[in-house]
Structure 1
Amino acid sequence: MPRTSERGGPRTRARILEVANRLFFERGYEAVTVAEIAREAGVSSVTVFNHFPRKEDLFMDRATDATDLLRSTVRDRALGVDVLTSLRDTSLHLVNTRHPLSGVSDRSVPFFRTVAESPALVARARAIAYELQETLAEELERDPVFKGDGRLLAAFFVAGYSAMLVETARRCIAGEPTNTIVQDHGVRLERLFTALRDGLGPAS
């Protein structure tokens, strides 16, 4: 196969992701090697690792998006909007638009199934959750308005949200109706934020 330009930047990255995800969905994460992905994408393994430091990042490629979204949710909230309200509004927007980060997009079922079948991906998902918790805690600690315990709020929010995603994943894999899953996901989100606000008190 002719090699594509390895300096293609975003286009090269997108091509690698396209190939990697197709192979992972077809054969399972553990059965696919980086060398196979590189060969089919028309690049070298070095190029793959230049774009994705870990093999897991070829599948869990939205971690950076999640990090950026958390930061903007805290930093860019409107004047007078407290942190919990901003986190709630962002979370509900993800669900209502079926965003890939919501866990209820069209590709959620094969995604969740592939993760569940791979110990490496499960471990990476847990590591990403911790990284997001640290990111949120750091943002809250440097926020000029927030006066609460940033590390405690970050730990509770990420743990609660992660638990919700695990339950949603279980139901998706079990084949429950999508509309029911989405509706219940939204209800559980509201319960999560009610619990956070009632348990932690006002969070500016």
Structure 2
Amino acid sequence: MAAPDPVPSLRERKKQQTRARISGAAAGLFVSRGFDAVSVAEVAEAAEVSKMTVFNYFPRKEELLLDGLPEALELTGAAVRDRPAGTRPLQALEGLALGLAERRHPLAGLAEPVPRLWRTVLDSPALRAYARECLEAVEDHLAGLLAAEGEGAVQAGFTAALGVTALRTLHTAAAVRILAGESPDAVAADHPALVRRVFAAADRAAADFAAGEPSAGARESDLQEG
């Protein structure tokens, strides 16, 4: 039987509360005025903390709004690394996507604040660039895990890219529909079928690529002939 999660200490709870207060103040300012028009000093004033405190919790201004990278790395990495024997990497990520959708997790694009924050991201070149950095970080992390399992570098990178593309496609599809005025409940009801469809296509692409990839010996022979 797994041990229960430890209860956070008073100090840890206070840190979590401070982080949430800063993030909430920042989101409110960014949504109302735009990311580029709000300074970190203004966020600090709204959250009633110092500017240094803001940077202690969020080293980059972009992280005040897009702070899900550590969790994305942890969740996707654990899904691939800890998957049952015989489960393909993209199958493991499909299971993660279904679980996130069921929980209405922000990474699924179905949580209430996510679509409203999307407009802020789309209006800011800095946030769009940071979002791309985050996706690349997740992709590199997954490719590294797969390569460590013995996958060839090209296959590992291709599979990781497919997984991240699938997750991004699903998140975007949900957020776009809600932004267009559809009910979050209606979008969530449709989401599992879309998850299965998207990941089935990604898994087929990964399998087709693996089946057509030449062996290491064949690649070496081709290089020598060239």
Pick the TM interval, shorter chain: 0.7 to 0.9
Q: Shift of the alpha carbon at 1:97? A: 1.4
Assess if the C-alpha contact under 8 Å between 1:108 and 1:172 holds in 2.
no
What letter matches 1:104 in structure 2? L
SS state of the match for residue 136, structure 1?
helix
What letter matches 1:161 in structure 2? L
- The farther-off stretch of 170-179 and 65-74 is 170-179
Deviations 1:122-153 (A, max 9, x none): 12111111111111111111136x67921110
Structure 2: segments with no counterpart, 5+ residues? 1-10, 211-226
Matched with 1:165 is 171
Root-mean-square deviation over aligned CA pairs:
2.3
Q: Shift of the alpha carbon at 1:109? A: 2.2
Matched with 1:65 is 71
**TM-score, scaled relative to structure 1:** 0.85
Deviation above 6 Å: which 4+ runs of structure 1? none
Deviations 1:59-103 (A, max 9, x none): 001111111111111222234433222111111111111111110
Among 194, 197, 201, which residue is 1:191 paired with?
A: 197
Among 168, 177, 189, which residue is 2:183 paired with?
A: 177
The alignment covers a number of residue pairs equal to 196
Among 97, 101, 125, which residue is 1:95 paired with?
A: 101
Partner Cα distance (2:70, 2:157) in 1: 20
Partner Cα distance (2:34, 2:179) in 1: 15
SS state of the match for residue 98, structure 1?
coil
Structure 1: segments with no counterpart, 5+ residues? none
Q: Shift of the alpha carbon at 1:51? A: 1.5
Q: Shift of the alpha carbon at 1:16? A: 1.2
1:49 partnered with 2:51: no
Partner Cα distance (1:186, 1:118) in 2: 31
Partner Cα distance (1:175, 1:30) in 2: 26
Deviations 1:147-179 (A, max 9, x none): 792111011221232233333332221112323
SS state of the match for residue 149, structure 1?
helix
1:126 partnered with 2:137: no
SS state of the match for residue 175, structure 1?
coil
Matched with 1:107 is 113
Partner Cα distance (1:56, 1:64) in 2: 14
Matched with 1:78 is 84
Q: Shift of the alpha carbon at 1:195? A: 1.1
Partner Cα distance (2:86, 2:201) in 1: 21
1:30 partnered with 2:36: yes
SS state of the match for residue 137, structure 2?
helix
Partner Cα distance (1:16, 1:178) in 2: 27
